[in-house]
Chains A and B, each alone.
Chain A
């Protein structure tokens, strides 16, 4: 179960690239208060909780239970 802190996200895309299931994407429909396009989880059921996205994230946007 991952939690995305959208407001802290800078949309750098490193997590999108690293996710082995390819279930993270930039949500082009949104712009957060920092002016960035935040990431979104496209298929929660497919997430294995491997944490690679969180390890890669420079902005501590992702928490994993």
Chain B
């Protein structure tokens, strides 16, 4: 298998091309800009269209048009840019269009900073835009996973006619690792709903999210909720290490990399520690929380967002602790060990 040293942002771009990406629109923003740069250079060769849009808003709406035309489409940005895209994302969900959206998170609120963060968790998994909706949200923790998850993301999006988000962060976007490159077998998805022209052989297709009659709006919402239920049943992905441990760490993305190192240190200090790493943060991997752990420690690069979902899953069966870091620095093994000792001693 072909192996290449790549940045996480580039890995997503390469994977997207190999997954059949034919339309990309985006806007430069740190720390994800290598992604559009890579596509600008390589997409035309694969017969795709790359557009540097005038705004994040325009980019997501171009993706709406391209996805509605039945081709694989993607946009990417970082936190403030993703905020700008929210209306468009809501329209894409409401119109049931498949596409991939990449958020290489940086700190907030406001302009924040360009350092890594996980503070868009709520925005990604709880909705973000207006209306009742869900996106499937994948949380990679390595450059290889940036690649693998992107390839999966296009299939999942097409399968459910729903946007899929890759929720990464500034470190994952910027760091370089060896990536195994492969081209997936192309699955065929029914796109008879797309606006490709009627050629007078069928009734016109309409891509739309306006349902002005309450009954019709209710019908759309019920259909969407039924879809999310199926997605929640079928698409939960999680990595679990030491499921029988006394204390379970819960972490996604880059923080889970640190957490894995903690496991070794904890063992050498006779602490029984395991890890639950959601690979999908929506749907949240409920099944992973049927453990007999005496305590949970959720670690995140924010003020405590995923910990709310952990508490819902644990539902009072054990204490759920939290350790967070905001501002752009990453939690260290020492930070986490200190907190673990505190919990174990309590």
Direct contact of A and B (CB under 8 A): no
